[in-house]
Amino acid sequence: MPDTYRNYINGEWREKGSLGTFENINPADHGDIVGIFPRSGKPEAEAAIAAAKAAYWEWSHMPAVKRADIVKHAGDLLRARKEDLARLMTRKMGKILQETRGDVQEGIDTAYLAAGEGRRMYGDTAPSELPDKFCISFRMPIGVAGIITPWNFPVAIPTWKIFPALVCGNTVVFKPASDTPATATKLVEILAEAGVPKGVVNLVHGGGREVGMAIVEHPDVRVVSFTGSSDVGRVIGEKCGRSLKRLSLELGGKNGQIVMDDANLDLALEGALWGAFGTTGQRCTATSRIIIHEKVYREFTDRLVEMATKLKIGNGLDESVQMGPCINAGQRESVHSYVEIGKNEDRAKMLCGGQFATDGDLKKGTFYKPTVFADCHTKMRIAQEEIFGPVVALIPVKSFDEAIEVINDSAYGLSSSIYTRDVNRAMRAVRDIEAGITYINGPTIGAEVTLPFGGVKDTGNGHREASHTVLDTFTEWKSVYIDYSGKLQKAQIDVE
């Protein structure tokens, strides 16, 4: 019998969902049911929000250092259970163990980084223009935080949001993706064991329309953090805008890797393979465009196709497997529909892949072959739209300037990369590429928690996750003026 999971509301595990239950199935083996989960709706969301609101006063008045100690303890528990969590994650979302271990490690790193902010969270002081007056500013918590996360990083992304939200003094209502609910449950179990008081963190399983929108629209939720598609992000942005609530959006990407004629091709090929087909291309930072100087285009293309066709596809629990499945049948169909679009677009040539992978045990899951399109140009849909699968478009260019023009010809601006031995080109790329992240001689994936994460254009609304910059999502600034002159002083008026 599969395990039965529950919601967590006001410190209690509640099995019942007002809309019934749903199954979570291993995408690498559809005969493996990971668990049965409550299909929740607006009543559960409202109960969780009420619990978070009731817990807010006491939690926000706890010293930040004490809140940080709890988050640090959660990081220690994540470290102790890293392998178990990684194996569960591979079962429920498909990516290989090497990657799921990294996903948990990112959660551990985030816990320790966020915990450190409990002893920093610095404000500003400034000299007053008047005598006997002191000026200071500091950060204040906002209130109930609605946390809505995707399925591709089931530990890393929730921790990016929940841990700093808690350290800042907010309470949390957490809705994970329905494709990856089991790891969310384990994360909340860890937070409860670490000492988070009842009501401070609440978990509600269910769909985006039923639970996610109930969280977004509720007036007692004062800050929302969402990672997902740009289309859904726009809807959330409209709803939050009506009530003027704080909103952080981390959305799509169509990330490009430039390969110049002086690049180390072995290194560039290794980065392209990892960037395009790691997590089966199901990353917002995946390398979905490779922009290649014409002098090395043919060699690079031939070698990449050879490497892609040799990737071992299968169940990620097998340590020898290099690429797992698409998350579900719908996503695989979406990927294939883009491949069909690419096959019919002007000039593009599909050099490998383009099919479901169904050999042997692969027929049990939703596997897709690594797919490479050559001779693409920027006006093609496969070079413009986010596919979120193991498909990459190769675009030849004649110069560095053309490469910059091509990489910037995108509605998105999350991650970018350039391979070159020329430091001058590298520095110009850093300056001129329109993206929140740029790698020099590395793939478009591999961000670290110590630097801000996020993008420009349709990739988000300007907020950044990770680093100390995430505090700007989960805190409000308060400015305080202390006048000890014993008389009324009028700023800007009493100054000569």
Looking at the chain, the whole-number percentage of residues with pLDDT higher than 90 is 98
Percent helix, strand and coil across the chain, each rounded to 5? 40, 25, 35
Is the model's pLDDT at 181 over the cut of 80?
A: yes
Do 200 and 55 meet the contact criterion of CB atoms below 8 Å apart? yes
**What percent of the chain has a predicted confidence (pLDDT) above 70?**
100
- The span from the CA of 91 to the CA of 99, in Å, is 12
Q: What is the DSSP string of 98-111?
A: HHHHHHHHHHHHHH
DSSP letters for 148-201: E--SSSTTHHHHHHHHHHHHTT-EEEEE--TTSHHHHHHHHHHHHHHTPPTTTE
* Type and span of the H or E element at 75: helix 64-80
Structure token digits, residue 281: 């291309």
For the segment 364-370, the average pLDDT, to the nearest whole number, is: 98
Which pLDDT value is given to residue 46? 98
- Contact partners, residue 462, CB within 8 Å, separation at least 6: 454
Asked whether 451 and 466 are in contact (CB, 8 A), the reply is yes
pLDDT value of residue 294: 98
Edge-to-edge strand ranges of the sheet holding 475-483: 124-127, 133-141, 475-483
Over residues 236-262, the mean pLDDT reads: 97
Tell me the C-alpha to C-alpha distance, in Å, between residue 6 and each of 3, 17, 39, 90, 186.
Answer: 10, 8, 10, 21, 11
Q: What is the pLDDT of residue 54?
A: 98
Q: What is the mean pLDDT of the chain?
A: 97
DSSP codes joined into one string, 127-149 = E-SSTTEEEEEEEEE-SEEEEE-
347 pLDDT tier (thresholds 50, 70, 90): confident
Phi-psi region of 24 (alpha: psi -120 to 50; beta: other; left: phi over 0): beta
Residue 141, strand partner residues: 475
- Rounded to an integer, the average pLDDT of 177-191 is 97
Q: How confident is the model over 61-102, as pLDDT tens digits? A: 999 999 999 999 999 999 999 999 999 999 999 999 999 999
- Supply the pLDDT for residue 88: 97
pLDDT over 80 at 1, yes or no: no
DSSP character at residue 210:
I
Rounded to an integer, the average pLDDT of 91-120 is 97
Q: Are 387 and 364 in contact (CB under 8 A)?
A: no
pLDDT average, residue stretch 166-195: 97
Calculate the alpha carbon distances from 377 to 57, 343, 346, 347, 373 in Å: 55, 13, 9, 8, 11
> Are 339 and 368 spatial neighbours (Cβ–Cβ below 8 Å)?
no
Q: What is the pLDDT of residue 20?
A: 96
Distance of CA 97 to the CA centre of its chain: 19
- Render pLDDT for 12-46 as a digit per residue (tens, 0 to 9): 999 889 999 999 999 999 999 999 999 999 999 99
Range 182-201 average pLDDT:
98
496 has a pLDDT exceeding 80: no
Give the model confidence (pLDDT) of 435-452 as tens digits.
999 999 999 999 999 999
Report which DSSP code applies to 379. T
Beta strand 349-352 with 371-374: parallel, antiparallel or unpaired?
antiparallel
Tokens of 464: 């950044």
Domains annotated for the chain, with CATH where assigned, are 3-251+460-479 (3.40.605.10), 255-440 (3.40.309.10)
Helix (H) or strand (E) holding 358: none
> Both tokens of residue 174?
């957490």
Mind listing the pLDDT tens digit for each residue in 448-491? 999 999 999 999 999 999 999 999 999 999 999 999 999 999 99
Overall average pLDDT of the 112-127 stretch: 96
Contact predicate 475/258, CB 8 Å: no
Q: Which residues are identified as catalytic?
A: 250, 284
